[in-house]
Structure 1
Amino acid sequence: MSLPRLLLLTLLTLTAFAANSVLCRLALFEERMDPALFTLLRLTSGALMLILLCRVRHSSPRQGDWGGALALIAYGAAFSFAYLTLTAGTGALLLFAAVQLSMLAPPLLRGESLPLRQWAGLLLA
C-alpha cells in the first residue's frame, strides 16, 4: 500500500472514531435516547452495513463468533451507559485504548510476539 493511501485511510479512520464519540454524545445528551435503545440501533446498523458490504463484494458473510458478538454487545452497552457520565475526552481516550487492546491482546495471550513495527504503532497510537 502506498504511503499517501495509508495516510488517507488512517486519517479517515481517526475521523470516524472522533465522529463516533461526538455522535454518541449527541444521541445520549440530556437523555435524547435511551442507552439500551442506542446500543441496539448502533449494533444493528453496523451489522446491516457489514451485510451490505459483503453483498457488494459478492461474498457471503463468514461464520460468526458468538463469544465475540457477546463481547461487542457488552462493550457497546457499557459505553452507551458510561457516556451518560463520562466527558467526551475521557470517552474518546477509553474508546481508542479499548480498540488497541482488543487488537493486540489476543495474539499476545496466544503467546505470539509482536513485530517491532506493531509495538511502535501501539506507542504512537
Structure 2
Amino acid sequence: MIGFSTAYVSLDAGLGALILFGVVQITMFATAAVTGSSPTGRQILGTVVALAGLAYVLWPSGALRVNLTGAALMVAAGVGWAAYSLVGRSEPDALAGTAANFVIALPVTAFSLLVLGGTWQMTATGYLLAALSGAVTSGLGYALWYRVLPQLAPVVAAVVQLSVPVIAILAGVILLGEVISVQLIIGALLVLGGIALAVIRRSRG
C-alpha cells in the first residue's frame, strides 16, 4: 500500500491503475504457470479483452507522461498485491489473517511516513475517517477477499480483479452523480465480457 499510495503522487490515476492491474495479472499468471496451473487459451484471451477494456476506460487523455519512479513503485505494489492474493489462498481464517496483516503493516506504515516526511496534522474528524476507511471498509473488504480466495484458481482470482476499477467508476456514477459516457459503457462491457470469457467454463456437449 505504501508503494501504491506514493506512486499516485507522480502518476495519473488511470495509468497507475493500468500498471497495477497489469502487473497483478502478469505475476499471478506466471506463478500459476510455474506451479502447474497454466492458464488456458480461453483465459488468456479473456484477460486480454478485459485489460483492453480497462485501458480504453482509464487511458490518460492528452500526452502520455510516465514518471519512472512512480511506475516502479506501482510495479512493486502490483507484485505485493499479487503475492498477498496468492498467500491468501491458503489462509484458513480470513478474519484473523487480515487482522494480523493490518497489525504488521501499521508500524511499517508509520515508519514510512516518518521517513518520507509525512505529517500528522489532521483534525479529529480526519483521524476518524482514516480509521474507518482502513480498519472497517478496507479491513472487511480484505477479509472477504481472503474468504473467497481459497475457492478460486489463481488465474481466475487474477482476472476477476479487473472488475474493481469498473465497479468503482459505476459507484461514482450512482452515488456521486458522475457522468456516464459511451466510452465507459463500451469499456465496462469489454471488461465484464473478458472476465466472463475467462471464468465461465465452456459446456461440453
TM-score by length of 1: 0.62
Ranges in structure 1 where 5+ consecutive residues have no aligned partner? none
Q: Is the 8 A contact 2:89 2:149 kept in 1?
A: yes
What's the C-alpha RMSD, in Å, of the aligned pairs? 3.7
Report the equivalent of 2:127. Answer: 63
Which string of whole-angstrom CA distances, capped at 9 and with x for unpartnered residues, describes residues 69-97 of structure 1?
42212211111111111111222233342
The C-alpha deviation readout for 1:6-33, integer Å capped at 9, x for no partner, is x66346424522442234323543x5x6
Give the Cα separation in 1 of the matches to 2:105 and 2:181: 31
Larger radius of gyration: 2
Bigger drift between 92-101 and 35-44 goes to 92-101
Matched-pair contact (CA < 8 Å) for 1:35–1:77: yes
CA–CA distance in 1 between the matches of 2:137 and 2:176?
18
Matches of residues 8-87 of structure 1 in structure 2 within 5 Å? 9-10=70-71, 12-26=73-87, 28-29=89-90, 34-56=93-115, 57-60=117-120, 62-65=126-129, 67-69=132-134, 70-87=136-153
SS in 2 for 1:45: helix
Relative to 1, partners in 2 of residues 1:107 and 1:4: Cα closer, same or farther, differing over 3 Å?
same
| Alpha-carbon distance, 1:55 to partner | 2.5
- In structure 2, list runs of 5 or more residues that go unmatched: 1-9, 11-63, 192-205
How many matched pairs?
A: 118
Normalising by structure 2, we get a TM-score of 0.43
Displacement of 1:45: 3.3
How much identity, in percent, do the aligned residues show? 13
